[in-house]
Amino acid sequence: MTMTIKNLDRRQFVKGAASAAAVSTLPLSTVELAFADPAKNFSFAYISDSHIQHIKGAEFVRNWDRGLIRAVAETNMLRPKPDFVMFGGDLAQLGTKAELDHGAEMLAKLDFKTHCLLGEHDYYLDLGEYWSELFGPHWYSFDHKGVHFVVLNSILTYDEWTFERWPTPEQRMLEMAGLDNPNGSPFMVGEKQRAWLAKDLEGVAKDTPVVVFSHSPIQKIFKGWNFWTEDAEQVQALLQPFDTATVIYGHVHQIQYNQIGNISFHAVMATAWPWPYPHSYAQAESHLPKLTVPMNRADPFFERDATGWQLVNLDSGRVAMKYKLYDNSDRTVAYNPVTGRPEDTVYQDPESRISPQIHY
Amino acid sequence: MRRFLFAALLGAGLVAAAWAVVGSAALAADPPLGLPPVPIPENNPMTPEKITLGEKLYNEKRFSTTGDVGCVTCHDPKKAFTDSPLRVSEGIEKKTGTRNSPTTINAVYMTSQFWDGRSPDLEDQALHPFVNPVEHGLASHEPILEIVRTDPEYVRAFDEVFGTTGEDITIREVTLAIAAFERTIVSGNSPFDRWYYGGEEDALTEQQKRGFELFINEGRCVSCHVIEQTQALFTDNRFHNIGVGINDIQDQVPELAGEFLDADLTLSEVDVEVLTDPRTSELGRFAISHGFGDLGSFKTPTLRNVALTAPYMHDGSIETLEEVVIHYMNGGVTEVGDPVNDFLSSGIRPLDIETEDIEALVAFMEALTSPEIAAQVEAAESE
């Protein structure tokens, strides 16, 4: 993480082709500093979607445990140290105390202040009650070195679905955990929280960088998997007046980025498992905008490949998202001031991409 | 019934195989069964004279402070080009390093050298042990040059091979010759090769054939110890944390890794550091790449002739092949219940195999011994 360019040049010759690619992604900030005072430059780590899953007794799914353990261990070694860590939701798989406790225990090993947000897997068993005991309020905001951070609970849905439809909380949880589930329901921030957000943003100067953390994308990508927030447009409308707004979301377990007006969007990886880019699954045309470079192909031998965590650099007030991808080449997605949108700093050019395997 | 496996193309970065026919018996026009052509770099063409000179330099023990350590000390043809059964290598004055001697056999096919790949090729690799304080112990390469510039046999040989004499002989020519010799140390044609590539049905026992099935299936061995359609080097030339060595320093990793990054050493300093400080050694490839993914990771060694080179792993910490298999069976811990390393390769996970499977896998690995290497070792043992 802290290698200087000098080191890269010196060491590049002993590296294989794969690691050479990783090296070239190292510069974290590709835009000029927007802050007058360089002391305000900072970075934070972002870990998400660990899906800690209880089997029975003291047994948890080993694979998901390993993903979170590794993210925590690596984050603790970051140089320079991150100012804080954000955990992006879905700590648990089915929202049980056992899962949340086990996950909280692993997160407690982080050496840094850690903020958390709710994913649907944490929420729909007891509607976030036990999660709240461990991690605090469901939505909140805080300021850090000139940036206004907002944490949303974006995985709420219609009251009728949540409170009236299901005979048991367990069934409610399972229904929301399913993909392509006709019994599911779209995520939303909801009127009450939007009103709170409007009020929260009232006092924030329009030239203050605003960064929103949510679990679901605050944009509409693919409804069948809830890569979707039903009231995305209303939330976006509250953010558009700001010169620099960024939404960082989990849930999709893959690299995505997009620009809508003044708002940059970045997805983060899961530590648990990868989801494929949905258009590779949808047989019919999907409504997915062309907003990402597909992920590098994962090697199935490595169960952590195509998962990872992020180091977010905010030196410029814009997000430069460095994806730390286990057993793969790291990637960086940063705002490109020329095109006015986030772009992959290495793979954006189709010529630079790693070709998919075409024989088996 | 033959199963063909595909794997990534090997040899990236090497010059396209310029197979050279030279006088040495070891360097035949065709590589032994099961091996690809030996890659020869354009800047170090093979000649019989150069190979002979390289062999002499390889065996030369005057290139050390005590006059009794040569390349051959730790990479001895009588021990399948290792120093088996030593756990870690012994240099001058019986000083010990931190790592188990990797065999010179088929090192030519490796895309990087040393357990952590800190050297890009055989020529570069040959530079470092001379000046490592626990190997040959020299302060610089000067004492070597003094010998080769004045010893009549070397003067004649360097003139013949490189057309250089006196001050014009540098350590570069020395390493070119050593590398040329090492490119002749190749071995294939094992019972496995005769069965798999040669079609000799009875070259393997039924148990060994069962071991092969496990090797490519439930054992998950082949993912790193690669077997391809026409050749098998039994390495992917990559680096993996398999839960050896680093398991003993788990709690110290953040501190050690941080100190290491802060120190910002040159590669020569790293060479000394990793062989003299056992804890730093366990950082593995991380000491070279500084990538978290490389913490505790070491290069996949070949498995050819592995039955002759106990003990095993980069630190020689596992004594038998049975125990190696058990380590993998346990998912990267040598004793069941030991803590799993935070940075364990995600390719390593507990295996669902039975006790008789362990024996079959070991039997298969025993089928990877080349007859000429076995004969060399046996002859030495009966001396």
Using the predicted structure, report yes or no on whether residue A131 has a pLDDT greater than 90: yes
Using the predicted structure, report yes or no on whether residue A3 has a pLDDT greater than 90: no
Asked if residue A19 lies in contact with residue B291, where contact means CB atoms within 8 angstroms, the answer is yes
Alpha helices (H) along chain B: 48-59, 71-74, 122-125, 142-150, 152-162, 171-182, 191-196, 206-216, 253-263, 267-276, 278-281, 286-289, 321-329, 355-366, 371-381
A273 vs A134: which has the higher pLDDT: A134
pLDDT for B7 equals 30
Q: pLDDT tens for residues B132-184?
A: 999 999 999 999 999 999 999 999 999 999 999 999 999 999 999 999 999 99
Asked if residue A317 lies in contact with residue A305, where contact means CB atoms within 8 angstroms, the answer is no
* Contact at CB, B264 and A77, closer than 8 angstroms: no
CA-to-CA dists, residue A288 to A187, A254, A277, A285, B34, angstroms:
17, 14, 10, 9, 49
pLDDT for A86 equals 97
Residues 288-347 of A with CB under 8 A from B: 301-305, 324, 326-327
Asked if residue A81 lies in contact with residue A14, where contact means CB atoms within 8 angstroms, the answer is no
Q: What is the distance of C-alpha B333 from the center of its chain?
A: 23
Q: Which residues pair with A325 in a beta bridge?
A: A308
**What is the rounded distance in angstroms from the CA atom of residue B110 to the CA atom of residue B300?**
10
Any B CB within 8 A of A355 CB: no
Residue the block writes with tokens 């018996």: B25
Helices B152-162, B48-59: inter-axial angle, 10-degree rounding: 140
Asked if residue A149 lies in contact with residue A317, where contact means CB atoms within 8 angstroms, the answer is no
Lowest-pLDDT range, A23-37, A302-316, B90-104, B336-350? Answer: A23-37
Q: pLDDT tens for residues B197-241?
A: 999 999 999 999 999 999 999 999 999 999 999 999 999 999 999
Instruction: Work out the minimum CA distance from A79 to partner chain B, whole angstroms.
Output: 8
Integer distance in angstroms from the first to the last C-alpha of chain A? 35
**What is the rounded distance in angstroms from the CA atom of residue A319 to the CA atom of residue A76?**
21
* Contact at CB, B346 and A327, closer than 8 angstroms: yes
Coil, strand or helix at A54: strand
Coil, strand or helix at A313: strand
pLDDT for A6 equals 34
**What is the rounded distance in angstroms from the CA atom of residue A244 to the CA atom of residue B89?**
59
pLDDT for B359 equals 97
pLDDT for B64 equals 98
Q: Which two tokens stand for residue A197?
A: 């957000």
pLDDT for B271 equals 86
**Residue A177: closest CA among A48, A295, A53, A44:** A53
CB atoms within 10 A of CB A149: 21
* Contact at CB, B347 and A302, closer than 8 angstroms: yes
**What is the rounded distance in angstroms from the CA atom of residue B286 to the CA atom of residue B297?**
7
Q: pLDDT tens for residues A51-65?
A: 999 999 999 999 999
Q: Which residues pair with A322 in a beta bridge?
A: A311, A332
Work out how many CB contacts closer than 8 A connect A with B.
82
Q: pLDDT tens for residues A66-111?
A: 999 999 999 998 888 899 999 999 999 999 999 999 999 999 999 9
Which among B117, B292, B346 has CB closest to A66? B346
Q: Which residues of A touch B350 (CB under 8 A)?
A: 62
pTM of the model: 0.85
Q: pLDDT tens for residues B254-266?
A: 888 888 888 888 8
CB atoms within 10 A of CB A53: 22
**What is the rounded distance in angstroms from the CA atom of residue A96 to the CA atom of residue A102?**
10
DSSP B303-353: -TTGGGS-SBSTT--B-SHHHHHHHHHTTS-SSTTSPPPTT--TT------
CA-to-CA dists, residue A142 to A150, A268, B183, angstroms:
7, 21, 63
Q: Which two tokens stand for residue A306?
A: 């195509």
Band of pLDDT at residue A277, cut at 50, 70 and 90: low
Residue the block writes with tokens 């069964």: B33
Q: What is the distance of C-alpha A319 from the center of its chain?
A: 12
Q: Which two tokens stand for residue B165?
A: 């004499």
DSSP A65-108: HHHHHHHHHHHHT-SSPPS-EEE-S--BSS--HHHHHHHHHHHT
Lowest-pLDDT range, A283-292, B60-69, B78-87? Answer: A283-292
Q: pLDDT tens for residues B333-349?
A: 988 888 999 999 999 99
Asked if residue B103 lies in contact with residue B186, where contact means CB atoms within 8 angstroms, the answer is no
Q: What is the mean pLDDT of chain A?
A: 85
Q: Which residues of B touch A1 (CB under 8 A)?
A: 261, 290, 292
* Contact at CB, B347 and A69, closer than 8 angstroms: no
Using the predicted structure, report yes or no on whether residue B377 has a pLDDT greater than 70: yes
Using the predicted structure, report yes or no on whether residue B20 has a pLDDT greater than 50: no
Any B CB within 8 A of A17 CB: yes
**What is the rounded distance in angstroms from the CA atom of residue B67 to the CA atom of residue A72?**
50
Q: Is B11 exposed, middle or buried (0-12, 13-18, 19+ CB in 10 A)?
A: middle
